[in-house]
């Protein structure tokens, strides 16, 4: 996780729990099939915890935004909590919704991107993760059905793809049609992350990642939930490596305007 920017923990969800989530998500997705706007993801369905839904201000019930008790069951899953503890994650805040990303048969690849939004802050330089994606595939994944692929180390180091990819999730990138663009390329530095159903896939939000296309006959569904750990310059108690000057001097009260574009902060 520290060096590559991602890791896989086998069998965190039981077969029963995974099957239950697969049946539930299939029903939700059948009601809200993939749309053109999210063609590279497949679906973009947000399932909120009931607590979070009760505190909503602007959220409106729709086929892609809804509360469900399963969100809390996923976010508070006891074995997940144990894994976080074992990995030494501290000061954890979970995002209170789960995102259902389902790539249909014949779904295109997802473009290279990263999901970090705090690149203006010195926090972008932490050698440890501060924003992590935690997800579970509901079927075994491989290149054939659109598995995840990553460029290891790019959560810390600049890579040529950083200059080739537009801002993630902007309308510009969603409207791209040229699948031969470097944004979708089979890069030599890329590594496939093949997961079995129910494995926990953990990745640093700063890591460049994408997916293969789904050339199988079945949908490939991913349930992801984001967590913040070690916020505001908090140093993990187990950290024994160097600490960048910018982190030591970080003002925990200072707010930075969000940007998804990594700038000079990435270590070259």
Ligand X SMILES: O=C(O)CCC(=O)C(=O)O
DSSP classification of residue 267: B
Our finding on whether 101 is near ligand X (CB under 6 A) is: yes
The residue among 115 and 194 lying less far from Fe ion, judged by its C-beta, is: 115
Our finding on whether 115 is near ligand X (CB under 6 A) is: yes
| Pairing of β 45-48 and β 65-67 | parallel
Cβ-contact 127, 268 below 8 angstroms: no
Position among 20, 44, 68, 115 found at the interface with Fe ion (CB under 5 A): 115
CB of 44 to Fe ion, least distance (A): 11
DSSP classification of residue 122: G
Q: Which two tokens stand for residue 96?
A: 């209170």
Our finding on whether 222 is near ligand X (CB under 6 A) is: yes
Angle at 28 between CA 149 and CA 217, to 5 degrees: 50
Residue 222, contacted partner among Fe ion, ligand X, none, CB below 5-8 A by kind: ligand X
The residue among 89 and 136 lying less far from ligand X, judged by its C-beta, is: 136
DSSP classification of residue 203: E
The residue among 115 and 192 lying less far from Fe ion, judged by its C-beta, is: 115
Our finding on whether 44 is near Fe ion (CB under 5 A) is: no
Cβ-contact 193, 201 below 8 angstroms: yes
CB of 101 to ligand X, least distance (A): 4
Handedness of CA 172, 176, 180, 185 (dihedral sign): positive
Residue 250, contacted partner among ligand X, Fe ion, none, CB below 5-8 A by kind: none
By rule CB under 6 A, what count of residues binds ligand X? 9
Task: Tell me the window of 2-10, 113-121, 185-193, 248-256 that interacts with Fe ion (CB under 5 A).
Answer: 113-121
Q: What is the C-alpha to C-alpha distance for residues 155 and 3, in angstroms, rounded to an integer?
A: 9
Our finding on whether 194 is near ligand X (CB under 6 A) is: no
Cβ-contact 130, 226 below 8 angstroms: no
Contacts to ligand X by CB under 6 A: 101, 110, 115, 133, 148, 209, 211, 222, 224
């Amino acid at each position: 996780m520290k060096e590559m920017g991602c890791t896989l923990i086998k069998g965190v969800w039981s077969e029963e729990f995974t099957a239950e989530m697969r049946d539930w998500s299939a029903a939700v997705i059948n009601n809200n099939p993939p749309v053109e706007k999210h063609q590279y993801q497949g679906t973009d369905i947000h399932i909120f915890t009931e607590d979070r839904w009760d505190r909503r201000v602007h959220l409106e019930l729709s086929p892609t935004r809804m509360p469900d008790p399963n969100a809390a069951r996923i976010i508070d899953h006891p074995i997940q909590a144990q894994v976080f503890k074992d990995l030494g994650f501290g000061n954890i805040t979970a995002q209170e919704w789960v995102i259902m990303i389902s790539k249909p048969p014949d779904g295109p690849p997802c473009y290279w991107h990263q999901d970090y939004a705090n690149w203006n802050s010195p926090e972008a330089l932490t050698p440890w993760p501060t924003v992590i994606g935690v997800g579970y595939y509901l079927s075994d994944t491989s290149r054939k059905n659109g598995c995840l692929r990553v460029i290891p180390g790019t959560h810390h180091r600049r890579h040529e793809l950083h200059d080739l990819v537009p801002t993630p999730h902007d309308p510009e990138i969603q409207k791209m049609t040229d699948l031969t663009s470097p944004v979708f390329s089979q890069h030599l530095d890329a590594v496939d992350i093949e997961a079995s159903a129910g494995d926990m896939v953990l990745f640093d939000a700063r890591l460049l990642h994408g997916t293969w296309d789904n050339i199988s006959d079945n949908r490939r569904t991913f349930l992801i939930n984001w967590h913040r750990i070690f916020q505001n310059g908090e140093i993990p108690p187990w950290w024994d490596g160097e600490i960048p000057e910018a982190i030591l001097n970080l003002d925990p009260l200072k707010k930075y305007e969000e940007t998804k574009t990594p700038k000079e902060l990435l270590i070259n």
